[in-house]
C-alpha cells in the first residue's frame, strides 16, 4: 500500500517547535520524511531539537524569533527560505495562556501580549508564507488553536478570544490563498506538556471530558500529519477537535 502520510521532500516550519506539542509535531514530521525549520524565542532549545532531527537523517535549521513581535517575522521567513528554498508546511503552534484573577483585573500589557502571540503573530506569518505558497507550488497551513476558543472560561477570556479569532482567520486565509493552499486548525484540549507541571492533580485528570483524562503529547501528531499530507487534499477551513470530548 502507498504510504498515505509520506512527507519526503517537504519542508515544515514549526513555531514553538522546541517543546510541548510543537516538539511532538517536529519529530513526527521528520519521522515521515520532512525537513524541519524550528523556531522559538530561545535558540538553545531549537538547536537541541534540530540535532535530534538530523540524527533521524533529515535536514534541520533554526532561528530565534518572538512570534508576538510583528517586526521579527519577516526575518524568520527570510531565514527559512534561505535555508531550504521553500516552505511546504507552516504550523502556527507558538502560544501561551496565562491566567488573570478576573477580566476586570486583566492588565492591558498582559492582554496585548496574549493577543499578539496567539493571534497577531499567526496572522502575519500566514500572510507572509501563505502568499508565497500561493504564488508557487502551494502548501498547507496548520493553526494550533485551543478548546478554550470553543468552550471559553473565566480567567482565560483574552486567550479564548485570541484563539477564536485564529479560528476565524483560518477560514479567511483558506479562501484568500486557495485552491493551492489549504488552511486548517487543530483545536487541542488539555495535554500533559511542560505547562501541566503547574496543574493540580484534579485538573490533570480532566474528569469532565468524555475520555476522562488529559491527552498525551504524542496524541496530537496523527491529526497534524493528516493535515500536513496530501491525504487531506480535500480538507480546508476545518477545525479538527483533538480534545478528548471536553464538556
> What is the CA angle 163-89-176, rounded to 5?
65
The percent helix, strand, coil of the chain (3-state, each to 5) is: 45, 15, 35
Q: Are 129 and 173 in contact (CB under 8 A)?
A: no
Cell 491529526 identifies what position? 223
- The active-site residue out of 159, 177, 226, 243 is 159
Q: In this structure, is the dihedral angle defined by the CA atoms of residues 181, 186, 187 and 193, taken in order, positive or negative? A: negative
Kindly state the DSSP code that residue 234 receives in the 8-state scheme: T
Q: Is 213 exposed, middle or buried (0-12, 13-18, 19+ CB in 10 A)?
A: middle
What cell does 208 get?
469532565
Cell 484534579 identifies what position? 202
For the question of residue 159 being annotated catalytic, the response is yes
| Axis crossing angle, helix 157-177 with helix 121-135, rounded to the nearest 10 | 10
Q: Active-site residue numbers? A: 159
Amino acid at each position: 500500500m502507498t504510504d498515505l502520510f509520506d512527507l519526503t521532500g517537504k519542508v515544515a516550519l514549526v513555531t514553538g517547535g522546541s517543546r510541548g506539542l510543537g516538539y511532538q509535531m517536529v519529530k513526527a514530521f521528520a519521522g515521515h520524511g520532512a525537513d524541519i525549520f524550528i523556531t522559538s524565542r530561545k535558540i538553545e532549545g531549537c538547536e537541541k531539537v534540530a540535532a535530534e532531527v538530523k540524527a533521524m537523517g533529515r535536514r534541520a535549521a533554526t532561528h530565534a524569533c518572538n512570534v508576538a513581535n510583528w517586526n521579527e517575522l519577516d526575518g524568520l521567513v527570510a531565514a527559512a527560505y534561505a535555508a531550504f528554498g521553500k516552505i511546504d508546511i507552516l504550523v502556527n503552534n507558538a502560544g501561551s495562556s496565562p491566567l488573570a484573577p478576573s477580566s476586570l483585573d486583566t492588565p492591558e500589557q498582559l492582554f496585548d501580549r496574549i493577543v499578539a502571540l496567539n493571534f497577531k503573530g499567526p496572522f502575519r506569518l500566514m500572510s507572509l508564507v501563505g502568499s508565497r505558497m500561493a504564488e508557487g507550488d502551494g502548501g498547507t497551513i496548520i493553526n494550533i488553536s485551543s478548546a478554550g476558543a470553543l468552550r471559553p472560561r473565566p480567567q482565560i477570556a483574552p486567550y479564548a478570544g485570541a484563539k477564536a479569532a485564529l479560528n476565524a482567520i483560518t477560514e479567511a486565509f483558506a479562501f484568500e490563498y486557495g485552491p493551492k493552499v489549504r488552511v486548517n486548525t487543530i483545536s487541542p484540549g488539555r495535554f500533559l506538556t511542560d505547562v501541566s507541571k503547574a496543574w493540580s492533580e484534579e485538573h490533570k485528570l480532566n474528569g469532565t471530558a468524555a475520555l476522562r483524562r488529559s491527552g498525551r503529547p504524542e496524541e496530537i501528531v496523527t491529526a497534524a500529519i493528516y493535515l500536513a499530507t496530501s491525504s487531506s487534499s480535500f480538507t480546508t477551513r476545518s477545525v479538527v477537535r483533538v480534545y478528548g470530548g471536553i464538556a
